[in-house]
Structure 1
Amino acid sequence: MIQSPGNLLEIRDLKKTFSIATGLFSRTLTLTALDDINFTVRQGETLGIVGESGCGKSTLGRCILQLISPDQGQVLWLGQDLTRLSGEDMRRRRADLQIIFQDPLASLNPRMTVGEIIEDPLRELRPELNRTERRARVVRIMEAVGLLPEMINRYPHEFSGGQAQRIGIARALVTEPKLIVCDEPVSALDVSIQAQILNLLSELKDEFGLTLIFISHNLSVVRHVSDRILVLYLGRIVELASGDEIYGDPKHPYTQALLTAVPIPDPRLARQRNIDALKGEIPSPINPPSGCPFRTRCRHARPRCAEIRPPLEQLENGRLVACIRWREIEAERALEAAPGG
């Protein structure tokens, strides 16, 4: 399989299901977490992945890193399919592929010092380094993420949430990876600390030449760091475009609805955007709606939306949208916005 020029990662036809055991007659149900996922990640970019809780964002990140195995499809890293690697071959790839977890304190071993936590990946993935070289790299990375070297012998419980997340970032960064999956890395932090961590990630990306996949349920957070944004709904891609396109001209009704949750300072404009606010709960992935998965919550839905599964249509500049009515919806919105509309 040939890798497209400039792409570090390619996801092709990825699918992941889980078997759910029920107490009723010992039945087993199938939950479809990811369904026919296709996208690329370019070297040096930040791809934001956004959607409500339960849409498959974290499952996608873990499938990319092979922390869980997809049922079908390919995860092409520099042209090599990670899903076909043996355990030992995948282990050798781990230095290039790292993750930052959502809960900073829960992801750190409370019995290890900060120095031991950050150094641990080096022992496993960089065996060519001796103890002195490992310790020197740990100190350098601590300074890069804003931690003082004299903190090296402290334990996780001695740090605030923001500092603990800096430790998690240092641990991911110490092996000099090419790609880091950031799985809701600021959702457990205060708003003021969130901004500091987001700015830090942007600085580290430039300093170390990183490629990032940034997962979040918050579009305003994703906008701050992402070059392109992928919108997931019920395990399917509904839109993929640049950050400017997503925020300036969203095509899919789900993306438009998500944007109404982003605070804006003008109350008049906020009231106008509320017409597309999300209503109801996300359907169960065990029994998703027929046709378009978003139709049960979409004010633009028509009877044919229940009959046709929308294909992922490619527009200009590689933009993707999965909605059979998006052109009609744009025309309707233009009429509503016109004087006297």
Structure 2
Amino acid sequence: MIGTQENLLEIRDLKKTFSIATGLFSKKLTLTALSDINFNVRKGETLGIVGESGCGKSTLGRCILQLISPDEGQVLWLGQDLTRVPAEEMRKRRADLQIIFQDPLASLNPRMTVGEIIEDPLRALKPDLSKTERRARVVRVMEAVGLLPEMINRYPHEFSGGQAQRIGIARALITEPKLIVCDEPVSALDVSIQAQILNLLAELKDEFGLTLIFISHNLSVVRHVSDRILVLYLGRIVELASGDQIYDDPLHPYTRALLTAVPIPDPKLARQRNIDALRGEIPSPINPPSGCAFRTRCRFAKPECAQTRPPLETVEGERLVACIRWQEIQGERVIEGTASL
């Protein structure tokens, strides 16, 4: 069982802010991208992270990989705090910690061949390997992701979006990592190609013994790959539960709204939905609402929701939710959208 496995990664009290200039001579404002983030990732699981654009998903992924530095908190990788690791030692950790980017073609160097792109991490992180050994690894990993070895000397512009993402996956796999952060890896692809890439990631996870963090704005996509799901809103965790708990009985109003935001192809089922659609725009993280940040868009909000920020509390087993009214909401039927994947 995944629940009994060791923690590869532990995030403790993570916070990240950015200074935003509003004008040439104006005082800089503080944008809080992440605040009070606590969770763990177990060996062999896939943790989904979902939320709208601007909720801090990609920032969290980059803080985990130390591509950007958090302001506060710890990123514990096998017990070692990566935020305190010297740059040279962190460079050696890169072989274990890899990322797949959202835009496949934009993440590939157009002046390099596919073979050179996939091989590049080996040259940087595995300098002891010979050229022959590196090339043999490239061929093996190309075959693993469904690319023909004879494509090795082609350039990125010669590939479709789905093939380009397979190149990105191969590049992440080449160092034999323990953890891969998948940052919206299918959002730029057609729905039919999305399904192929999701199935490929599931197969590679089993074949290579990977642990995945899968970032997406679409709960229906995350459903296909995740063991547990973490829901972010304005840089804070509002719910964390198993995939079955999230889809069968969501506790936070924001989770419910995300579920009902996906279109349903059946008009009859669509009419049976509870009206949990997201209202208005996401508030500014520079000046978020008082109390519960979601209250300005929540149909369950009461005056008391504006008074204090709800803590992230354990409600059953390892399930977490940040909502003072979750018990009133629990059990109300949700008919969620189902993507045709």
1:208 to 1:332, Cα distance in 2 relative to 1, 3 A: closer
Equivalences for residues 199-218 of structure 1 within 5 A: 199-218=199-218
Distance apart, 1:55 and its partner CA: 0.3
Map of 1:167 onto structure 2? 167
Structure 1 residues 98-156: Cα deviation after superposition (integer angstroms, max 9, x where no partner): 00000000000000000000000001111121111100000000000000000000000
Matched, 1:142 2:123: no
Residue 333 of structure 1 deviates from its aligned partner by: 7.0
Root-mean-square deviation (Å):
1.5
Unaligned runs of 5+ in 1: 335-341
| Letter matched to residue 207 of structure 1 | E
1:185 alignment partner, SS class? coil
Greater helix percent: which structure? 1
Query: CA 1:241–1:109 in 2, change beyond 3 Å: closer, same or farther?
Result: same
Q: Which residue of 2 aligns with 1:321?
A: 321
1:240 maps to what in 2? 240
- The aligned residue for residue 198 of structure 2 is 198
**What are the within-5 Å matches in structure 2 for residues 8-19 of structure 1?**
8-19=8-19
The answer to whether structure 1 residue 36 and structure 2 residue 31 are counterparts is no
Amino acid of the residue matched to residue 93 of structure 2? R
CA spacing shift, 1:331–1:144, aligned 2, 3 Å: closer
Deviation at 1:317, TM superposition (A): 2.4
Q: CA deviation at 1:332?
A: 7.2
2:249 and 2:330 in contact (8 A); partners too? no
SS at match of 1:275: coil
Match of 2:339 in 1: none
- CA shift in 2, pair 1:160/1:331, >3 Å: closer
Q: Residue by residue, what CA displacement relative to the aligned partner does 1:255-296 show, whole Å, maximum 9, x if unpaired?
A: 011110233354333223241111100000000001000000
Distance in structure 2 (CA, Å) of the matches to 1:90 and 1:149: 32
Structure 1 runs (4+) greater than 6 angstroms displaced: 331-334
Greater CA deviation, 18-27 or 252-261? 18-27
Amino acid at match of 1:84: R
Distance in 1 (alpha carbons) for counterparts of 2:32 and 2:265: 39
Determine the C-alpha separation between the residues in 1 that align with 2:121 and 2:192: 30
Q: Taking structure 1 as the reference length, what is the TM-score of the superposition?
A: 0.95
How far off its partner does 1:27 sit?
1.2
Q: Does 1:59 align with 2:59?
A: yes
Cα contact 2:9–2:75 (8 A) shared by 1: yes
**How many residues of Structure 1 are paired with residues of Structure 2 in the alignment?**
331
The unaligned stretches of length 5 or more in structure 2 are: 335-341
Match of 2:124 in 1: 124
Displacement of 1:329:
2.5
